Structure 1
Amino acid sequence: MQHLIGKQMILLKRAWNIFSISLLSTLTAYPALGAERIKFNYGLLEESIPISSLESYVKTGKVDESLASYSRYVGKKQLTQLRKALITPIPLSQIEVSQFLYTPIGERLLEKLGKVIQTESNLSGFYAIRAALILSATNKQNFTLLNVLQKFPASAISINLNQSLEIVDALQDLVNQTQNAVALVNQQSQQQLINTSTLKVAPLQDLRKPGSFRFIKQTILLNDLSRLRQFPADIYLPITQNPRPVIFISHGLGSDRTSFAYLAEHLASYGFVVAVPEHPGSNSKQLQALLSGTADRVTNPREFIDRPLDIKFLLDELTRLSKNNPKFQGRLNLEQVGVIGQSFGGYTALALVGAEINFKKLNSDCPALEDTLNVSLLLQCLAVNLPHTEYNLSDSRIKAAIAINPVDSSIFGQASLSKIKIPLMIVSGSADTVAPALPEQIQPFTWLTTPNKYLALINGGTHFSTISESSNAVVPVPTAIIGSSPALAQRYIQALSVAFLETYAVDQANFLPYLSTDYINNISRQPLPLSLIKSLTSEELQKAI
């Protein structure tokens, strides 16, 4: 018995240490605690912190005796960050909070969190967490984590350290595997440079700088009567007498057609016609409707079908305009077409070039959704609710594609991604916590069978690094989540897109040297060093992770 208690003490210390270090990130990611005390339970053992100690620390900056036990495990910097997190206003109203927490995705997050954050009787904290958030949000000026603590509908909150350790261990495994995979990609990229070091090329221009074409922007309104779907699109037209290649850009969930305006303008300056549609069911207006109470979901599963069909319909419309409209006549080369998409737009691009929705894979993966650390599966698994039939989403007119931070591991899986036959570039960020690099980009890259495939890795890049700030943003993305140097990441995208599309959509072989490690190293900069590889096998990846 003494041996058992001693072992539990060691485990409790480990659990307390790990959880203490991660408490700040837990509070920030899931702002839903509240009570008179926070209790940490591990088997028969228990530690606790009075909420009043946190309140006192927030007001005075002084650590009292109760909080001192916590402070032993974290540094002064983390305590300072915790203090700031507790009093930083949360920029959401009660309606906005309520709407999200009652969506399927919101409820999934609450279910997962409720296993760790429980009531004093060790029951799931699902309903208490939701109540605390909604009650605290009634006063938008005082909607802070500390206020949420005060609104929790119980005298104490119990943190299940068994569950916490499982999550922390699983997260650490994912982090370790991702680090090993990233190291492998970086190593392969440099190995490619060694193997091709004898192939010296003439000095290359800087594709991060604008090209020589001037252009105008036209906005058109499309109305697809067959789907009762109306949406706008911005068309960037180079000023030239000759037909130019056409590139489509598909934005991500909760974004809009201005998110990649910087890329559209850059491509137009290189002589590409760029068409950027707004996907009405998964754009910033949809997010606004959700948060204002006029919509009941983040997006409709039908968006998995409608998004690719938006691009196909727009391509049909541009074909018609090129024949009948003087503004477009003779200006579009519809034999040279490419597509770029980010996040949900990355899914859209992959669907357009031959990846089919894999209902068998979804049915296998989605029942275990509560146990995943891959947030993107919350989106992908919405597709389970679609009628299980074959959808014609691909378009043979598209000759090349770029998928940035795509979500694809379950919605497509290996069986569908292996069907893509055209040139494809996947762009990944090693610090992406929304569509994690390993399961959503690096491993799917090994599933590709197309001979012309590339994986570009932005070391330190996040899910939001390549998205420019939109004036229509509903909820501004915090700088800490965007990460460092988004302008640098966006310049990478500009250079990679020009090089890849000129090479494979326009068949300009003289741009192929730009898709080499030699050139990538030339433009790579800290704090977001860039790597590029053309091949990686599943065996190599499995061995590394």
Structure 2
Amino acid sequence: MPNKLKLWSYLAIGAFQISLSASLLGYWAKKAVGAENIILNYGALEFSVSVDSLETYATTGELEGSLKSYAGFLTPEQLEQLKVGLITNADFSHLAIAQFLYSYQGETILDRVSKVIKTQARQPGFYAVRAALILAAANEEEGGLTPLNVLKSFPTNTLRIDSRQGFELFKNLSRVVQKNNQGIAAVEQTARQERQNKATATPGVRDLNLLIPGKYRYKKQALIMKDVKRKYPSGKIRDRIFPVDLYLPKTKTPQHLPLIVISHGLGSDLTTFAYLAKHLASHGFAVAVPEHPGSSASQIESLLTGLDSDVTPPQELIDRPLDIQFLLDKLAQDYSSEIDTNNVGIIGQSFGAYTALAIAGAELNWSTLEKDCDNIQNSWNLSLLIQCLALQIPDADAEIELQDRRIKAAIAINPLTSSIFGQKNISKIDIPITIVSGSSDPITPALSEQIIPFTWLNNPEKYLVLLKKGTHFSTLNESAGSIPVPEKAIGPDPKIAQAYIKQLGLAFFGTYIQKKAKYSSYLNAEYGDVISKRKMPLSLIESLDPELLKLK
């Protein structure tokens, strides 16, 4: 995984930790009395906890002062989480943090946090929290960007935590978690039922090990796509130049090879899914891996070094599918004798999964975007920070046709879907689709972004794959030179998730792009159970009753 993208992993964890910490402190405020630097408000009552006592506990494990009184209200596990969490370092420079916090996404998150964390004068802590984060990151001698250093860097003598707001956030978060868990249980229940039904029917023949590389050797070519003076309906003209890695199997006789396109996520690059490209190429697919310039690792690097002010520009929601269209046109022109560009599969992750669904036929849904984005401050869905960028696209450009009929099948891993497509437009997809979800994904939450949208698909050739304990980053290959990522952000061994993607990707594209019947018996709950690993259990289903998703 490219190191710059990992800011999102810390962001996701940080957003959760802030809400949890505010709730725990609010719980203390409700139960205890004291007086020091952190003032906890609960209605007309005020309580306090000392930053010094927090530092002593984090560094020595000793409970003292007001903190010792409050500790009785927490479990040993919660106390240990607090101790470790206070000094856990998010290894980013103060410049990188500053650049992100001045972006649209950073300011939106700060606005949410400032309703809970306030200044001594009871004003929202938007600017104070931003300053504290930047100052803490700059103070490397004291450990850099840790929650404890953020507290010590707060620009007023006292910070206030609005416990009622914290409790409200925690209540909303708890409900989100409860609903998400119910959705996961519904998928697992359905998988058990589909396995049972399959067992009573005639079993399919499965004599292939889909993890083994295929018989084809392949060569990798580095291409440059030059969409010079790309024209938009709004009148804008831009140069869109981007690299592509093309994997071409070597065949003894000339063949018209089926094509798979891999679209990376925000902050990724050509190497993120190289493991999958190589596997598919060895089984006879031509594989094209473009690097989208407005949302690649280079874009995030530009943000963090001060050369750009956006995580990604709104126009990227349009440009990504247009990149794929242009790529197919160029391959049809230059490789017409080698590649069948009228028989194409696409697989994408996160922003790339959005790209895959958009080019597969899901249109942007302006009514759901306007409704949901107007209420973004009350949502725990971090993916809305990308989805809502669509509202900044010029009206004329918003009407660009993104679908490409050359795409015959698509896999979407951790897609963002709920608002940008909505039920009406997801249901317009009429080609075979697989949606892959991680149960522990805080960025594109499983229930709202994958499980519920799966029920909106009308196409009978559809599959939902759930990786239990999988996160937003579980399927990504880590690039050389990347910074350490918290284990919670990666989840269990990513090699397990990558093996799942290789096996199911081959089975899916082998069935619907290569048109080989031998692969079809691998696309069911029974095979999902066969390859499932205990550290990250896999459930594969072909249908889901929406009634199972209603919160009880």
Q: Give how far 1:66 is off.
A: 1.7
* Deviation readout 1:482-529 (Å, 9 max, x if unpaired): 111211011111111001111112222221100011211111111211
Q: Give how far 1:24 is off.
A: 8.9
* Deviation readout 1:125-172 (Å, 9 max, x if unpaired): 111101111222333443133222111111211111111111111111
Of 150, 153, 160, the match for 1:151: 153
1:355 partnered with 2:353: no
* Deviation readout 1:45-92 (Å, 9 max, x if unpaired): 232210111122233221113211232233444434433333343322
Q: 1:20–1:74: 8 Å Cα contact kept in structure 2?
A: no
Counterpart of 2:331 in structure 1 is 318
CA distance in structure 1 between the partners assigned to 2:240 and 2:17 by the alignment: 48
Counterpart of 1:443 in structure 2 is 452
Residue type of the alignment partner of 1:146: L
1:231 partnered with 2:242: yes
Give secondary structure in 1 for the equivalent of 2:245: strand
* Deviation readout 1:329-354 (Å, 9 max, x if unpaired): x3212232100000000000000011
Q: 1:167 to 1:397 in 2, by over 3 A?
A: same
Q: 1:246 to 1:299 in 2, by over 3 A?
A: same
Higher mean alpha-carbon deviation, 115-124 vs 430-439, is at 115-124
Of 362, 368, 372, the match for 1:365: 372
Of 514, 520, 523, the match for 1:515: 523
Residue type of the alignment partner of 1:358: N
Residue type of the alignment partner of 1:369: I
Residues 234-253 of structure 1 aligned to structure 2 (within 5 Å) = 234-240=245-251, 241=253, 242-253=255-266
Give secondary structure in 1 for the equivalent of 2:497: helix
Of 23, 26, 43, the match for 2:21: 23
Q: 2:225–2:242: 8 Å Cα contact kept in structure 1?
A: yes
Q: 2:205–2:521: 8 Å Cα contact kept in structure 1?
A: no
Counterpart of 2:509 in structure 1 is 501
CA distance in structure 2 between the partners assigned to 1:510 and 1:403 by the alignment: 23
Higher mean alpha-carbon deviation, 87-96 vs 308-317, is at 87-96
CA distance in structure 2 between the partners assigned to 1:203 and 1:451 by the alignment: 22
Of 330, 333, 336, the match for 2:340: 333
Q: Give how far 1:480 is off.
A: 2.2
Q: 1:24–1:82: 8 Å Cα contact kept in structure 2?
A: no
* Deviation readout 1:163-185 (Å, 9 max, x if unpaired): 11111111111111111111111
Of 424, 427, 439, the match for 1:418: 427
CA distance in structure 2 between the partners assigned to 1:19 and 1:182 by the alignment: 22
Q: 1:293 to 1:21 in 2, by over 3 A?
A: closer
1:220 partnered with 2:233: no
Counterpart of 2:164 in structure 1 is 162
Which residues of structure 2 form unaligned runs of 5+?
Answer: 1-15, 26-34, 231-238
Give secondary structure in 2 for the equivalent of 1:489: helix
Higher mean alpha-carbon deviation, 299-308 vs 172-181, is at 172-181
Give secondary structure in 1 for the equivalent of 2:138: coil
Q: 2:23–2:170: 8 Å Cα contact kept in structure 1?
A: no
CA distance in structure 1 between the partners assigned to 2:257 and 2:247 by the alignment: 11
Q: Give how far 1:19 is off.
A: 10
Of 197, 200, 203, the match for 2:203: 200
CA distance in structure 1 between the partners assigned to 2:113 and 2:207 by the alignment: 51
CA distance in structure 2 between the partners assigned to 1:538 and 1:169 by the alignment: 24
Give secondary structure in 2 for the equivalent of 1:408: coil
Residue type of the alignment partner of 2:449: E
Q: How many pairs does the alignment contain? A: 513
Q: 1:208 to 1:36 in 2, by over 3 A?
A: farther
Residues 170-189 of structure 1 aligned to structure 2 (within 5 Å) = 170-189=172-191
Q: 1:91 to 1:65 in 2, by over 3 A?
A: same
Q: 1:247–1:275: 8 Å Cα contact kept in structure 2?
A: yes
Q: 1:479 to 1:531 in 2, by over 3 A?
A: same
Alignment TM-score, normalising by the size of structure 2 = 0.89
Give secondary structure in 2 for the equivalent of 1:411: coil
CA distance in structure 1 between the partners assigned to 2:471 and 2:73 by the alignment: 28
Residues 85-484 of structure 1 aligned to structure 2 (within 5 Å) = 85-142=85-142, 143=144, 144-197=146-199, 198-227=201-230, 228-240=239-251, 241=253, 242-323=255-336, 330-388=337-395, 389-471=398-480, 473=482, 476-484=484-492
Q: 1:194 to 1:89 in 2, by over 3 A?
A: closer
Give secondary structure in 2 for the equivalent of 1:73: coil
Q: 2:22–2:163: 8 Å Cα contact kept in structure 1?
A: no
CA distance in structure 2 between the partners assigned to 1:89 and 1:361 by the alignment: 38
* Deviation readout 1:68-126 (Å, 9 max, x if unpaired): 12322334444344333333433222211111111111100000000011112322111
CA distance in structure 1 between the partners assigned to 2:539 and 2:318 by the alignment: 33
CA distance in structure 2 between the partners assigned to 1:87 and 1:177 by the alignment: 32
Give secondary structure in 2 for the equivalent of 1:232: strand
Which residues of structure 1 form unaligned runs of 5+?
Answer: 1-17, 28-34, 324-329
Q: Give how far 1:20 is off.
A: 11
CA distance in structure 1 between the partners assigned to 2:198 and 2:259 by the alignment: 32
Q: 1:518 to 1:428 in 2, by over 3 A?
A: same
Higher mean alpha-carbon deviation, 298-307 vs 480-489, is at 480-489
Residue type of the alignment partner of 2:129: I
1:52 partnered with 2:55: no
Residue type of the alignment partner of 1:525: K
CA distance in structure 1 between the partners assigned to 2:260 and 2:19 by the alignment: 46
Q: 1:436 to 1:19 in 2, by over 3 A?
A: closer
Q: 1:441 to 1:26 in 2, by over 3 A?
A: farther
Identity of aligned residues (%): 49
CA distance in structure 2 between the partners assigned to 1:167 and 1:528 by the alignment: 30
Counterpart of 2:28 in structure 1 is none
Alignment TM-score, normalising by the size of structure 1 = 0.90
Residue type of the alignment partner of 1:277: P
Residue type of the alignment partner of 2:455: T
Q: Give how far 1:532 is off.
A: 1.1
Counterpart of 1:4 in structure 2 is none
Q: Give how far 1:25 is off.
A: 9.8
CA distance in structure 2 between the partners assigned to 1:419 and 1:448 by the alignment: 8
CA distance in structure 2 between the partners assigned to 1:450 and 1:318 by the alignment: 29
CA distance in structure 1 between the partners assigned to 2:513 and 2:548 by the alignment: 30
Root-mean-square deviation over aligned CA pairs = 2.1
Counterpart of 2:7 in structure 1 is none
